[in-house]
Amino acid sequence: MEKIKIGKIVNAVGLKGEVKVYNYSDSEEVYERTPEIYAGDRLLKVQNVRMQKNMVILKLSGIDDRNAAEAAKGTELFITEADLPELPEGQFYIRDLIGMEVEEQGGSFHGVVTDVLQNTAQDIFEVKRDDGKTVLIPKVDAFVQKIDGKERLITVTLIEGLTDL
């Protein structure tokens, strides 16, 4: 069973054991639809979820007072692979994209996705070429023609000079 990191407890809230969570996922709904989450190695029941500005506030079983909440600071939170929601057709989790082969349509470019950067206007595939060089390919329709999850293959069309950067 693979565990997927979704957040980290960063502080205690109030006196009844609530914790403030820095959310690593793209949605707080993962906390609302998952009845139990791992806090480190402990499987805890989610008793309550609420939002405070952009932070998730959780009440977890076994963390029943301020002292226990303070002691949980720094603990990372995980769900299991079975708790991941099904994605619509054509959408992929980043963890599924990493390791996919990348080939240029009708060209000679070949590499493997090593990371997906998300701190820009669009996602960017970090691709390690067969010759060891790393290339950044924006995940936009102009470059990415097809992502085949079953074949684990991303077909791209590259413009001149993109692989020379």
Tell which of 62, 83, 104 closes a domain: 83
Mean pLDDT of 23-37: 85
Asked whether residue 23 is domain-assigned, the answer is yes
Q: For residue 33, what are the domain limits?
A: 3-83
pLDDT at residue number 43: 93
Mean pLDDT of 82-100: 81
pLDDT higher than 90, residue 66: yes
Asked whether residue 88 is domain-assigned, the answer is no
Asked whether residue 18 is domain-assigned, the answer is yes
Spatial contact of 153 and 100, defined as CB atoms under 8 Å apart? yes
Q: What is the pLDDT of residues 19-28, one digit of tens each?
A: 999 988 777 7
In a shared domain, residues 58 and 118: no
Q: What is the pLDDT of residues 130-162, one digit of tens each?
A: 888 888 888 888 888 888 888 898 888 887 766
User: Which of 93, 75, 88 shows the shortest CA–CA distance to 38?
Assistant: 75
Cα 86 from Cα 162, distance rounded (Å): 34
Nearby residues of 4 by Cβ (< 8 Å), 6 or more positions away: 78, 79, 80, 81, 83, 84, 95
In a shared domain, residues 66 and 7: yes
Nearby residues of 150 by Cβ (< 8 Å), 6 or more positions away: none
Cα 142 from Cα 2, distance rounded (Å): 34
Tell which of 52, 83, 114 closes a domain: 83
CA pseudo-torsion sign 111, 114, 116, 120:
negative
